[in-house]
Amino acid sequence: MERFDYGIIGGGPAGYTAAILFAKQGKSVILFEKDKLGGTCLNRGCIPTKSFLHSSDLYAQLKNPNSAGISAENISFDFSEVIKKKNNTVEKLRKGIELAVKNNGVKTVYAEAVIKDKNIISDGSKDFYAENIIIATGSKPREIKGLEFDSKFILSSDDILNLQKLPKTVLIVGSGAIGIEWTRILSNFDVEVSLVETAEHLIPLADIEVSKRIERIFKQKGIKYYTNNSINKISNKSVFLNTGEELNPEIILVAAGRIPNNINKECNMVLGDACGEIQLAHYAIQQAKETALGIKCNKSQIPSVIYGEPEIAWIGIREQEMDENCKKYILPISALGKAWCDDATDGFIKIITKDELIVGAHIISKEASSLIHILLPAIQNGIRVKEMKQLCFAHPTYAEGIGELLLNI
């Protein structure tokens, strides 16, 4: 029986990161993956959707280029080529992960693993001994009662990636990252989108001002959304909401989040989505770093990003969590020269402080996914506002908006 220091089940961000990091330390590692390396993020989540977003954003910009002094006619898209571009991107990145795993001496077994006891893992035909077992089996789309997936009319976030042609109308249930990003993708591609959310506002996990701004942007773009609402019944593909509206979508996308994949977790470490905690790829990677390298992972300091135009990013406390000792400061993106040059003036940068420390940051802007990382070290390391003011930001940039806002604190 082959023996290993670590047996890792699941080849997503948590699993392959932990495997590589342990191997770099000279540990023997065996990694089990029943499908393809990369997990949900690479194969069914982060990367495919960002590829679709890029194509859809480019198409949307080309349809309305006049503000940039450019004239374009007969703009169209070939969805089969959009899919091809997405598949090529995923395949290229997967090969990179496979090569990294192989070059670091990790043994990869492509099979569904079964834990026989605290040190024995089987691939169905052969047993392997692992001194330590790590479970990183990821997650699957959450079903809602009455909206069970049939992969035809009612689709999961996995199913929608398999579409070969776009529908004319779609109803999206849920306004988290998945729901918002697919709303943006499909509406950019001229699909009539309706979005329903049970909470009072869109993106219920976000700062309330972020939610309200996104609602305003959706109204400006003609995207229909229904908050504080849900599906009452479906009859012959007609959808009736609790408030009485009748919708007739070609498909329904259920974007209600994800739940951990079940596996025997007794006496084993569990990383990534399988934990049932923060279901973000970068959190999974951070967990792997903590496990393999001892680098501390603070769950309250994990940034969140929702992609599209404009991007949305946040970290730390939200306005609805502020106490009497907190203060908020806001700079509109329209105050920035770079935003006017890019014709991207919608949004804001918001900083929340307490006792001269930055405790929250919320950004709606082009490049928000990068901007949030300027404030992350300040929150993580307790850098005071007066010290952050010493930073020199290049001009013209979106980043200088943070510098201008800091001067007002």
Report H helices in 189-335. Answer: 208-220, 281-293
CB 396 within 8 A of CB 349: no
Please give the pLDDT value at position 281. Answer: 96
Output phi, psi for 38, to 5 deg: 115, -20
Q: Check: CB of residue 242 under 8 Å from CB of residue 229.
A: yes
SS3 92: helix
Structure tokens at 153: 């009319």
Q: Which amino acid is at 46?
A: C
pLDDT in tens, the chain (409 residues): 999 999 999 999 999 999 999 999 999 999 999 999 999 999 999 999 999 999 999 999 998 876 778 888 889 999 999 999 999 999 999 999 999 999 999 999 999 999 998 899 999 999 999 999 999 999 999 999 999 999 999 999 999 999 999 999 999 999 999 999 999 999 999 999 999 999 999 999 999 999 999 999 999 999 999 999 999 999 999 999 999 999 999 999 999 999 998 766 565 799 999 988 999 999 999 999 999 999 998 888 999 999 999 999 999 999 999 999 999 999 999 999 999 999 999 999 999 999 999 999 999 999 999 999 999 999 999 999 999 999 999 999 999 999 999 999 9
pLDDT of 123-134, one tens digit each? Answer: 999 999 999 999
Token output for 280: 């973000």
Please give the pLDDT value at position 300.
87
Q: So what's the pLDDT on residue 266?
A: 61
Q: What are the tens digits of pLDDT across the range 233-277? A: 999 999 999 999 999 999 999 999 999 987 665 657 999 999 889
Task: Please tell me the predicted confidence (pLDDT) of residue 42.
Answer: 96
Residue ranges of domains in the chain, CATH in brackets = 2-141+258-293 (3.50.50.60), 154-254 (3.50.50.60), 310-407 (3.30.390.30)
The CA distance from 312 to 320, in Å, is 17
Say what the pLDDT of residue 72 is: 81
253 with 160: CB under 8 angstroms? yes
Would you state the pLDDT for residue 287?
Answer: 96
- For residue 95, what pLDDT is reported? 98
Q: State the pTM of this model.
A: 0.94
